[in-house]
Chains A and B, each alone.
Chain A
Amino acid sequence: MRQSLKDLREAVANKTHTRLGTRLNYEQSGFSSLMRKSGRAVEKIESPDVKGQLIAADSAWGDPVIWQTLKLYSGTTTKGYFLSAVDARQSIDGVEMLPEGERVYLMLFGRTLMMSLAITLLCALIGYPVAFLLAQLPMRTSNMLMILVLLPFWTSLLVRTSAWKVLLQQQGVINDLLVWIGLLGDDTRLVMMNNATGTIIAMTHILLPFMILPLYSVMKTISPSYMRAARSLGANDWTAFWRVYFPQSVPGIGAGAVLVFILAIGYYITPELVGGTSGIFISNRIAYHISSSLNWGLAAALGALLLVAVLILFYVYDKVVGIDNVKLG
């Protein structure tokens, strides 16, 4: 008890007790005010009845949970941040999950994964026909059409995001157009922004070139004589495509998909601007903890988990494509 008082006095003298309170408040609410109150009272406390006077200064000192938390976090390192990052926490009985309703980060990680998958899938679906067409057309025509793919690739990310903001708003171009045609009433305008839909549409558009370019470069290497051979042996157009052409283009899909997925999973700007609250990614939460809530430890833990995920994907990408084979434009 005396030792605790001595430590607290020292903390007050160094003016670190409020920071200690903030830190412990992440684990057990009430610590922040407890530390501030006790900091003011600590000078007047004298032995022998330290316990009684501490409790008199703030009744929370009488609560065993406070002491247990203090003991639990007295070490020099903690896994507390990583546990918080996966919605668990350290309690006196060991590691436990947070109650169902408070699990924010697992849900956010899950959403980031699901939405990145959806974006990757959409990019593959939309990108494949275009890459196929570009690979079939004669060089002169395909070079002209390639400009339509490269223009968005070279346009500033913020320009493209602002374009989507303009298009998707409730008073925006797409809604206006639909109302003007008569498909929608003025009061039934679609909500396409500040939700997951907005993020998915905008990010699919932004990442589409990253799918088309690797697909195109793989398809360029597939000799047209394979398809001709298949057809001369009696396959119809679809069979020739599906059984002969498509399997050869799979490495391109793989390269494009991993690239798009890696880029999507760490996106920050676009979800922040068009995602609202239901369309944000884990990155936005990391940024929030760094710049607004100042919980840097938690931000670092969330970031480390995201980084591990990306590095694993990067490793896969290196094995599938090889970093030396990355091409630009």
Chain B
Amino acid sequence: MSSLPSYASPLQRTWHYTFRVICGLIFFFLVFPILVIIPLSFNAQDFFTFTPEMLALDSAGYSTKHYVDFFTNPDWQKALQNSFMIAPTATLLATVLGTLAAIGLSQPHVPFRSVIMAILISPMIVPLIIAAAGMYFFYSRIGLQGTYWGVVMAHAVLGTPFVIITVTATLVGFDNSLVRAAASMGAGPITTFFKVQMPLILPGVVSGALFAFITSFDEVVVVLFLGSASQKTLPWQMFIGLREQISPTILAVASIMVVLSVVLLTVLELLRRRSERLRGVTPA
């Protein structure tokens, strides 16, 4: 399939190229909506579509005013600040808890392993609206609703399953005799963990942490319910903006976030390669 043999019939040839065109269209469908907002965010008008000036590539049709608005408008700046206050703390919590859970669950003697696993993974599967509603009722009773720590804890809960999954995956390739070797040479469990196990499972931990970060950074449903105005995050501000007063500043924010996700994607790809190198698997 990857390359046509020289004896291919005309029909096979036609299908071969038709199939590629179809796939090309699907890739276009996947990427076009994301890429189209980048040029649109430089629109000099407050429209959500290409103006004739923009199509004529006239420099008068383009401006950075939406970006200027994002960086000077106090609402957006507060939201950005809140996002960067909440996401790292939630990520830290999720990473520590998730890594510990994954290591614990990888031990063969843990009873009810699959049940515990299912419960810990469930925040990823349960519809967000249900998780948000449940947390809202529960957190209001214990006074966490509308507080910074309430939002952080809720986001940590949502991020933990990703850390558990990625760390569990790296632990599959982890050789447990290394731990025994370290112990036999007199290292305590804590030293063994930080000096032997941690460096080897680090790629899994970091990619889990990235997932947890993006979960918190991108999360809007839970924060809508649990947060008060002083925890308004970037996605919240975008959600309000999209629902009520549509302002083109959203496109500028969206473009910045696309660039951010490209950076994240690159980091993850580099991590994956490093992990494969460490395990001695050479990419084909």
Contact = CB atoms under 8 A, between A and B. Distances in A.
Contacts of B50: 173, 176
A273 B218 contact: no
Interface string A143-169: 001011111101111111111111101
A266 B129 CA distance: 7
Contacts of B96: none
Interface in A267-326: 267-269, 272-273, 283, 286-287, 290-291, 296, 299-300, 303, 306-307, 310, 314, 317-318, 323-324, 326
Given A159-B34, A323-B114, A165 B242 contact: yes
Contacts of A114: none
B130 A133 contact: no
Interface stretch (B68-76, B164-172, B173-181): B164-172
A139 interface: yes
A152 B268 contact: no
Q: Is the interface of A mostly helix, strand, loop or mixed?
A: helix
A290 B225 contact: yes
Contact of A136 (B2, B27, B169): B2
B85 interface: no
A267 B19 CA distance: 32
A158 B49 contact: no
A159 B254 contact: yes
A268 B128 contact: yes
A274 to B, nearest CB: 9
Nearest to B113: A324
Given A150-B265, A173-B36, A166 B125 contact: no
A166 B241 CA distance: 13
Interface residues of A, number: 67
Contacts of A300: 133, 137
B49 A171 contact: yes
B142 to A, nearest CB: 17
Given A162-B37, A268-B129, A148 B12 contact: no
Contact of A162 (B126, B238, B264): B238
B144 interface: no
B165 A328 contact: yes
Contacts of B265: 147, 150-151, 154
Given A159-B254, A296-B137, A326-B121, A306 B127 contact: yes
Interface in A188-232: 205, 208-209
Interface stretch (B57-65, B87-95, B192-200, B255-263): B255-263
Interface in B232-251: 235, 238-239, 242-243, 250-251
Nearest to B40: A166
Nearest to A138: B2
B48 interface: yes
A323 to B, nearest CB: 5
A181 to B, nearest CB: 13
Nearest to B27: A148
A179 B137 CA distance: 50
B27 A303 contact: no
Nearest to A267: B127
Nearest to A174: B49
Given A286-B133, A303-B130, A310-B125, A152 B36 contact: no
A92 interface: no
Given A155-B261, A163-B37, A291-B225, A314 B133 contact: no
- Of B50, B133, B235, the most chain A CB neighbours within 10 A belong to B133
A237 B12 contact: yes
A269 B22 contact: no
A300 B220 CA distance: 20
Contacts of B136: 290
Contacts of B264: 154
B33 A164 contact: yes
B17 interface: no
Contact of B261 (A151, A166, A266, A323): A151
B7 interface: no
B91 to A, nearest CB: 15
Contact of A126 (B29, B118, B122, B242): B29
Interface in B10-53: 12, 15, 19-20, 22-23, 26-27, 29-31, 33-34, 36-37, 40, 47-50
A262 interface: yes
Interface of A: 126, 129-130, 133, 136-139, 145, 147-152, 154-167, 169, 171-173, 176, 205, 208-209, 237, 262, 265-269, 272-273, 283, 286-287, 290-291, 296, 299-300, 303, 306-307, 310, 314, 317-318, 323-324, 326-329
30 contacts: A126-B29, A129-B22, A130-B27, A133-B20, A133-B23, A136-B1, A137-B2, A149-B30, A158-B239, A159-B254, A161-B242, A163-B34, A163-B36, A163-B254, A165-B48, A166-B40, A166-B251, A171-B48, A176-B50, A205-B33, A266-B130, A268-B127, A269-B220, A303-B129, A303-B130, A303-B133, A303-B134, A307-B130, A323-B114, A324-B168
Q: Which 3 A-B pairs have the closest CB atoms?
A: A266-B127, A163-B33, A136-B1
